[in-house]
């Protein structure tokens, strides 16, 4: 195993040059999202639970956008290995059409039927009433976010991840400042509470879009070819549909499945405590996995480019195995760090800051322990599924590995434990992570088969 970590000079430098901007981007986004949660949490448990419920459909939009971005990256990274700028623009054009259409549809749904959408998530009328205006405003922000995310994804897949880091740093700084002003009524602005958080998010996404558009028009490294973007062509469309649809469906089904876990919590007897704890620990979890997702994104670029350059299968397999081992060791380090921080910082310092009730505090402790213990397996799965297998054009099997354990194991187990048996909170928390027990070994078998290594650019042509 350790011999596989010995690579040619410059390999790890290349890995971290790609990974660090992505890690910093995710860390900035998550940290400032954590600050948003903290600000809303200062209003009270009910407000934080309401925003958690309202963010379920928003989370689905975000993950589907990530799915289109990841599906596009499968083609873009391999075309980048071939130096084909025209086809990179065509891939971006198809992705922009898809993301804009999807995010507009969801935004209109949440604007016209907010109470009905929220009613599917929680029957708590107090939470629904608090969240209605928030969800109506925030939905439209992701039309702008979808467009800028696709462009940032193209830059990342062509080995320039620093752009995404800078773009989302600007967006999140604007969001956090406006949250402070509009939630609490600072600098003469009215105190708008949850609605202020929604207005802040919308404004920051418009700023983000404007910055991305300005950079795209100025950038000479990857020039825009408007003819290719507006008229991508049937061959690229067919290739995008063939290789991106499994990825998009994967992310959509995963986000809906993950949201189902939130829905189950919303129907528990102690739903307000569980949702408040989940909002806090979910933010900590996102922060703790930023390195894993950074390595996974870099793995997709490295593996895709290796395949696009025509490397033999054994070389691609060897490079990918090294990346998976690095990710797993990083996950083990994060696990140890979380288990140290829980009794020394989270419980005595962080949880009281959020004014968690005793029930929410207990649930938060259980969630934190479970997330930490499963971290090494989750880190391996993240890089294997979203990085290696997808980069090799094996999106369909990656989707099966990712989705099947969630829907056939984790969701039924949690529903039975929480709603039928009304089991203790720690049992419910363990059932949420049950999917990883079988996802990791199945993914390992697929990886060792080497059947996932495909040059999809030549297949498209």
DSSP 433: T
DSSP state letters, 234-289: HHHHHHHHHHHHHHHHHHHHHHHHHHHHHHHHHTSTTHHHHHHHHHHHHHHHHHHT
207-216, 273-282, 446-455 — most confident range: 207-216
Sorted by sequence, the CB contacts under 8 Å of residue 341 that are 6+ apart come out as none
Sorted by sequence, the CB contacts under 8 Å of residue 109 that are 6+ apart come out as 57, 117, 139
What's the CA dihedral at 346, 347, 348, 350 to 10 degrees? 40
| Residue reference for tokens 């979910």 | 282
- What mean pLDDT comes out for the span 27-47? 71
Sorted by sequence, the CB contacts under 8 Å of residue 358 that are 6+ apart come out as none
For residue 181, pLDDT over 90 is answered with: yes
For residue 203, pLDDT over 90 is answered with: yes
Q: Measured between alpha carbons, how far is 166 from 211 in angstroms, rounded to an integer?
A: 10
Sorted by sequence, the CB contacts under 8 Å of residue 392 that are 6+ apart come out as 303, 304, 307, 316, 320, 452, 453, 454
When pLDDT is cut at 50, 70 and 90, the band that residue 154 belongs to is very high
Q: Residue 32 has what pLDDT?
A: 61
Nearest Cα neighbor of 402 from 260, 283, 251 is 251
| Cβ 52 vs Cβ 278: under 8 Å | yes
For residue 461, pLDDT over 60 is answered with: no
Nearest Cα neighbor of 384 from 452, 455, 306, 338 is 452
Per-residue pLDDT reduced to its tens digit, 91-110: 999 999 999 999 999 899 98
DSSP state letters, 324-349: HHHHHHHHHHHHHHHHHHIIIIIIII
| Cβ 66 vs Cβ 293: under 8 Å | no
For residue 48, pLDDT over 80 is answered with: no
Q: Residue 256 has what pLDDT?
A: 81
What's the distance, Cα to Cα, between the start and end of the chain in Å? 38
Q: Measured between alpha carbons, how far is 210 from 409 in angstroms, rounded to an integer?
A: 43
Least confident residue range of 39-48, 202-211, 262-271, 342-351: 39-48
Q: Residue 459 has what pLDDT?
A: 54
What share of the chain in percent tops pLDDT 90?
30
Least confident residue range of 39-48, 224-233, 269-278: 39-48
Per-residue pLDDT reduced to its tens digit, 359-396: 888 888 999 999 999 999 999 999 999 889 988 888 88
For residue 147, pLDDT over 90 is answered with: yes
Q: Residue 18 has what pLDDT?
A: 86
In this predicted model, which residue has the larger pLDDT, 38 or 230?
230
Q: Residue 383 has what pLDDT?
A: 94
Per-residue pLDDT reduced to its tens digit, 322-352: 999 999 999 999 999 999 999 999 888 888 8
- What mean pLDDT comes out for the span 274-301? 85
For residue 70, pLDDT over 70 is answered with: yes
Q: Residue 33 has what pLDDT?
A: 60
| Cβ 337 vs Cβ 299: under 8 Å | no
Q: Residue 344 has what pLDDT?
A: 93
Q: Each residue of 310-338: b (16+ CB within 10 Å) or e? A: ebeeeebbebbbbbbbbbbebbeebbeeb
- What mean pLDDT comes out for the span 8-14? 84
312: which 2 tokens?
A: 């033999």
What share of the chain in percent tops pLDDT 70?
97
Sorted by sequence, the CB contacts under 8 Å of residue 404 that are 6+ apart come out as none
| Residue reference for tokens 């059409």 | 97
Mean per-residue pLDDT over the chain, rounded:
86
Per-residue pLDDT reduced to its tens digit, 228-266: 999 988 888 887 887 777 877 887 788 788 878 888 887
Dihedrals φ, ψ of 153, to 5°? -65, -35
Nearest Cα neighbor of 296 from 403, 376, 397, 386 is 386
Q: What is the CA radius of gyration of the chain?
A: 21
When pLDDT is cut at 50, 70 and 90, the band that residue 457 belongs to is low
């Amino acid at each position: 195993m350790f011999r596989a970590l010995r690579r040619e000079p410059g390999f790890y430098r290349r890995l971290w040059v790609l990974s660090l901007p992505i890690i910093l981007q995710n860390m900035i986004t998550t940290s400032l999202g954590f600050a948003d949660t903290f600000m809303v949490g200062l209003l009270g448990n009910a407000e934080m639970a309401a925003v958690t419920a309202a963010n379920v459909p928003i989370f689905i939009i975000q993950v589907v956008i990530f799915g289109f971005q990841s599906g596009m990256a499968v083609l873009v990274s391999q075309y980048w290995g071939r130096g084909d700028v025209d086809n990179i623009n065509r891939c971006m054009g198809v992705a922009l059409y898809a993301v804009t259409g999807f995010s507009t549809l969801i935004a209109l749904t949440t604007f016209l039927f907010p109470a009905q959408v929220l009613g599917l998530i929680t029957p708590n009328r107090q939470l629904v009433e608090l969240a209605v205006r928030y969800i109506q405003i925030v939905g439209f922000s992701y039309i702008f976010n979808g467009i800028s995310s696709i462009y940032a994804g193209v830059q990342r897949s062509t080995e320039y991840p620093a752009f995404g880091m800078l773009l989302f740093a600007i967006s999140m700084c604007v969001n956090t400042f406006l949250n402070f002003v509009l939630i609490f009524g600072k600098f003469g602005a009215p105190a708008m509470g949850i609605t202020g958080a929604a207005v802040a998010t919308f404004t920051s996404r418009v700023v983000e879009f404007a910055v991305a558009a300005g950079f795209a028009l100025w950038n000479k490294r990857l020039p825009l070819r408007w003819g290719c973007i507006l008229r991508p062509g049937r061959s690229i469309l067919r290739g995008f549909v063939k290789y991106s649809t499994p990825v998009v469906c994967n992310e959509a089904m995963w986000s809906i499945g993950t949201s189902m876990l939130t829905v189950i919590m919303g129907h528990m007897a102690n739903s307000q405590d569980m949702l408040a704890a989940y909002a806090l620990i979910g933010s900590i979890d996102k922060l703790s996995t930023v390195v894993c997702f950074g390595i996974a994104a870099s793995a997709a670029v490295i593996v895709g480019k290796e395949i696009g350059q025509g490397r033999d299968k054994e070389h691609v397999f060897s490079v990918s195995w090294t990346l998976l081992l690095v990710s797993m060791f990083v996950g083990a380090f994060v696990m140890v760090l979380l288990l140290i921080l829980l009794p020394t910082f989270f419980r005595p310092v962080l949880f009281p800051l959020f004014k968690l009730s005793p029930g929410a505090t207990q649930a938060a402790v259980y969630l934190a322990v479970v997330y930490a213990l499963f971290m090494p397996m989750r880190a391996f799965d993240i890089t294997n599924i979203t990085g290696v297998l997808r980069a090799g054009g094996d999106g369909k099997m990656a989707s099966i590995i990712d989705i099947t354990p969630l829907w056939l194991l984790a969701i039924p187990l949690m529903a039975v434990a929480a709603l039928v048996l009304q089991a203790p909170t720690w049992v419910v928390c363990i059932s949420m992570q049950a999917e990883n027990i079988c996802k990791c070994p199945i993914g390992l078998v697929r990886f060792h088969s080497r059947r996932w290594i495909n040059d999809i650019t030549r297949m498209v042509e």
